[in-house]
Amino acid sequence: MSNEQIKKYRNQAYQHLTNELLPFWENRCVDKDNGGYITHFDNNGNDSGEDEKSLIAQSRTVYTFSAAHRAGYGDGRYAEIAKHGVDFLIDKMWDSEHQGFYWLMNRKGEVLIDEKIVYGHSFAIYSLSEYTLATGDPRGLEYAIKVFDLLQIHGADIHYGGYFEMFHRNWELKGEGPAGGDRKTLDAHMHLMEAFTTLYEASGQQVHRRKLTEMIDLLIDKIMHPVHGTGIPQFWADWKVAPQIKFDIIWGWDRFSEDGFKSASEDNTSYGHNVEFAWLLMHALDILNIPYSQYQTQLLKSFDHAVAYGIDWEFGGVFVEGSHSGEVYDREKEFWQQAEVLIGMLDAYRVYEDPKYLKAYDATHQFVFDHMIHASVGEWLPLLSRQGQPIWNHMSHSWKVNYHSVRAMVQSIIRLDKLIARSA
């Protein structure tokens, strides 16, 4: 593939990021009346009115504007928007009695769900650490460290390793089954790796480095399939594979059957998660100053499984999920898998220089720009058919904000620039 084609990708990503994506959020999300962010928008980009502010959406939006500022966008405006979100997190969402962040509030900042969910706290660590790296405001790192310490006290499973994930307000572990107290997940642990990476980058503290390396080894030894190197979604506390179920108040509710179980609940893997894990692992190794070669077997398995089974070579884009051995179960196209595969395939090509990775990037890039971007509004559609027809058409809610789409463009541009410079 020519250098001119790579420059074309870069230009498309830059124009979309600076003229559509970032303006979409800058012009809509700041809640000047109540603090924090408005994160629910319909297909036309209008406020859809849901009266909620979730930890996940608030923290991810802090991350988005912090990372965009750190990458050189916004002429300082994005640092102010990030600060606006951090103020809300600390002043409204922080539980001063029991510590940690509440899961869900209304727009005014009144608590709706007071539970402590590790998935949300992983993004609090991630976003607040990024905020300090981007702006120098020490409050971000201060609260990121507070959350990290809470997880070591209340969440860490010192017997089997890893972290429990679902807690009541006072950090008492929740019950079994849909309450989630007896489960551990790939999702939460992968995002803890992501969070600990940025925390260590911001703090330089050895305890953060140590917990990051522990998390990497746990993910590879316990959570990735021992043969295929693909991610297994859910486990019991002792790391035996558990059927994938819907939790009471957390992610995944929109992709499950009515009985709350996933189809093929003990043999499914997400192509997007596998590639996201691989590029996040590479980034963690960069921050740790550890060579990729130490984890090359895992990295290649993660990338190659997605190329072999997850890329739709006929219509473009990335399928949702399939079996570990290769059968595709769900051929629809979700926004976040596309975003993560864009970054991951550029990393795979940058490091291993195999043209199949650039071809996989091309198939995903073209699908996103042809079908997934709602060009008249500026954000991405959440879910499309295999052929690219919208199934859901809202622009944003608590589970679909700006973190994946904006990060995909910011990080893709960084990698495309490296490829362009290398070819010059």
Q: What is the mean pLDDT of residues 169-174?
A: 98
Structural contact between residues 274 and 326, judged by C-beta atoms closer than 8 angstroms: no
- pLDDT tens for 183-193 read 999 999 999 99
Q: Measured between alpha carbons, how far apart are the two ends of the chain, in Å?
A: 14
The rounded distance, in Å, linking the Cα atoms of 150 and 167 is: 12
Structural contact between residues 203 and 197, judged by C-beta atoms closer than 8 angstroms: no
Number of Cβ within 10 Å of residue 169's Cβ equals 16
What percentage of the chain carries pLDDT values higher than 70?
Answer: 96
Structural contact between residues 248 and 180, judged by C-beta atoms closer than 8 angstroms: yes
Supply the pLDDT for residue 265. Answer: 57
245 φ, ψ to 5°? -120, 165
The rounded distance, in Å, linking the Cα atoms of 279 and 281 is: 5
Structural contact between residues 98 and 114, judged by C-beta atoms closer than 8 angstroms: no
Work out the pLDDT band at 162, boundaries 50, 70, 90: very high
Tokens 């994938």 belong to residue: 244
Q: What is the mean pLDDT of residues 410-415?
A: 98
- Which contiguous run of DSSP H or E holds residue 203? helix 186-203
Is residue 257's pLDDT more than 50? Answer: no
Q: What is the mean pLDDT of residues 153-179?
A: 97
Is residue 314's pLDDT more than 90? Answer: yes
pTM exceeding 0.85: yes
- pLDDT tens for 7-20 read 999 999 999 999 99
- pLDDT tens for 229-255 read 999 999 999 999 999 888 987 654 455
The rounded distance, in Å, linking the Cα atoms of 145 and 21 is: 31
DSSP label of 334: E
- pLDDT tens for 96-113 read 999 999 999 999 999 999
Give the sign of the dihedral formed by CA 59, CA 61, CA 62, CA 64: positive
Supply the pLDDT for residue 259. Answer: 44
